Amino acid sequence: MLARIGLLIVAAAAIACASAPKVSVTTSVTDSEYNAVSLAARVKTALLNDAVVGMRRIDVHITGYDVRLTGRVASTQERDRAVQVASGVEGVRAVKSDLDIRP
């Protein structure tokens, strides 16, 4: 009796799965989008790992191979260091600083 109930449950589950609508999700990421995300991640990682500016909240914006830094730093030395670090990342062509200096 239990075997029949188990068989009925398995059969019902198989029918339910077979009749469920098929959903397909595809994402298409272009090479330039992938490169921009990769470059932003490398710049952000370099900034976070830097002893001088690693504790500052610096956002990284990428356009092509150009980097724009936004956020807040405590001094012109920190701003200059952030630009230096970002410039040192492979693939970066130019760095623009829109960092606010607030001691």
Nearest by Cα to 60 from 90, 86, 31: 86
Check residue 103 and give its pLDDT.
85
Q: In the chain, which stretches have pLDDT less than 50?
A: none
Question: Rounded to whole angstroms, what are the CA distances from 77 to 51, 59, 80, 100?
Answer: 13, 18, 5, 12
State the pLDDT at residue 18.
56
Q: What is the DSSP letter of 74?
A: S
CB-based contact 71:77 (threshold 8 Å): no
Integer CA distances (angstroms), 82 to 20, 35, 77, 91, in order: 53, 21, 9, 16
- pLDDT, position 70: 98
